[in-house]
Amino acid sequence: MTKDNIREYLLAKGRELVVSQGAAFLTARKLAEASGCSVGTIYNQFANMDNFIMAENLQTLDELAGSLRKLSPDSSAYKTLNRYLDGFVRFVLSNRNLWFMLYHFHLQASVKKLPRAYLRRLVRVIEIWRPAFEEVFKDIRPRERRLSMQVLWLSLFSVSSFLTTRVLDDMNSVSKKTICKLLLNTYLAGLTALKKD
């Protein structure tokens, strides 16, 4: 822990805490203790804890993007979209605590305006889907296609908050992945049907 990477060190330690103990465990004092410094040092690196959490969340979104980018295209653009969905669901389920924190903060902070950096990351994730999406719906007008894509992503992103919790287990007998696949493919089928008019 040299002085030029304290920031990264704190982020790494904070990530550990969230992964192992949950987002609620991430407090200034606990982070300080885990990192072997005082609370003041944290506030030297980050304006406040919300900013720290935001920095963690940016990392999480970057990891998601990296994870999705690693996926190779399937035989059809349609199948590729499903592959991205699989990757998305898998990422959320294997990073439950991090994703929960992301969403929790998202909701908390979004009362005000969301930071540009955060919105940029969200857009970046959409951009990964876009080529496949555009190929499947190349005969839809760009404006509408763009909107449809955003609404689809918004739906999946919204529903993903429930993937980190037990709610869906109580309400439904099918798996979380099945729910997401049903949502995706019904929506895509709807777009396909509507474009024929």
Q: Distance between CA 133 and CA 97 in Å, rounded?
A: 29
Q: Is 159 in the site for a copy of itself (CB under 8 A)?
A: yes
Q: Is 166 in the site for a copy of itself (CB under 8 A)?
A: yes
Interaction pattern, residues 9-28, with a copy of itself; x per rule: CB under 8 A: -------------x------
Q: Is 119 in the site for a copy of itself (CB under 8 A)?
A: yes
Length of the chain: 197
Q: Distance between CA 101 and CA 114 in Å, rounded?
A: 15
CB of 73 to DNA, least distance (A): 43
Say which entry of a copy of itself, DNA, none residue 6 contacts (CB below 5 to 8 A, set by partner kind).
Answer: DNA
Say which entry of a copy of itself, DNA, none residue 113 contacts (CB below 5 to 8 A, set by partner kind).
Answer: a copy of itself
C-alpha dist (Å) from residue 75 to 82, 109, 112, 135: 11, 40, 43, 13
CA angle 166, 109, 105 (to 5 degrees): 30
Q: Is 179 in the site for a copy of itself (CB under 8 A)?
A: yes
Binding to DNA (CB under 7 A) within 32-91 occurs at 37-41, 43-44, 48-50
Q: Distance between CA 108 and CA 115 in Å, rounded?
A: 13
